[in-house]
Amino acid sequence: MENFVKIAKKYNLFLIVDEIYEKLTFDCNEHYCLSDIIWDVPWIAMKWISKDLPWPGARCGWIETYNTDKDKNFADFCNSLLKFKMVEVCSTTLPQYVLPEIYESEDYKKYIKQRIEKYKKRADLAEEILKDSKELKIIKPKWTFYLTILFDKVNKQKDFKIQDNEIQNIIETTLNWKNRFDEKFCYFMLWETWVCTVPLSWFNSDYDGFRMTLLEENETNFIKILETIKEFAKNYWE
């Protein structure tokens, strides 16, 4: 992160940083915000409360601008953004106004600690279930509630076949030869198992795999989901 700041300072750039998940890291001692090291470089922080607050349906986000006094072009850019967004969408002033009191409350600190502990436990559980899989490789998370799983045997592909010819045709019509393997895998696994995952290629990733969440409240169900995915991959590559 310090190197990013050095590059921005050297070439007279500003930084845009996504800090939406900053409160959901498993080990706070390993987490740093850009504000800890930014110095005098202009930057924008993107904030969002739908991830770390128990507010069902909340889609409240905003940007924070720093060091606008260091660069007139940057200041003009930020002002144009703010004016445009205030015209286009509703203001998030009130939620921002109460956030300091929420974040500083003991109830919130207990709440966020419990969530982090749950996600960390889910990540440990996923690692335990998939550790002996010859087909799947888990990328164990250190923050938030997403789990990434890679394919170990992606180069050994074969056709997907399911018993329902109509559904087979629908999926094959949706997909084509240009689709990456992970897309095909996720589509067919969804039909066969009812387990919904998101292919990594949809995130512009060069790796073949998929992403799922750690949000399942019922631990028994979470274990069943992982075991189902593991079994589907095993059966495919047998």
Per-residue pLDDT of 6-64, as tens digits, reads: 999 999 999 999 888 888 888 766 777 887 787 889 999 998 887 888 777 777 888 88
The C-alpha angle with vertex 164 and arms to 162 and 169, in degrees rounded to 5, equals 85
CATH of domain 114-237: 3.90.1150.10
Per-residue model confidence (pLDDT) at position 28:
67
Confidence band of 89 (pLDDT split at 50, 70, 90): low
Architecture in CATH for domain 2-104: 3-Layer(aba) Sandwich (3.40)
Per-residue model confidence (pLDDT) at position 213:
94
Given a cut of 90, whether residue 229 has pLDDT beyond it is yes
225's CB contacts (< 8 A; 6+ apart) are 195, 212, 216
> Which residue type does 20 have?
I
Coil, helix or strand at residue 163? coil
Query: Tokens at residue 159, please?
Result: 């056709």
Please state the rounded mean pLDDT for residues 125-134.
94
Query: Which pTM value belongs to this model?
Result: 0.81
Contact between 60 and 95 (Cβ < 8 Å): yes
**Can you give the residue ranges of every domain in the chain?**
2-104, 114-237
The tally of CA atoms less than 13 A away on the side-chain side of residue 83 is 6
Coil, helix or strand at residue 198? strand
Per-residue model confidence (pLDDT) at position 29:
65
CA nearest to 23, candidates 13, 31, 15: 31
The C-alpha angle with vertex 237 and arms to 129 and 234, in degrees rounded to 5, equals 25
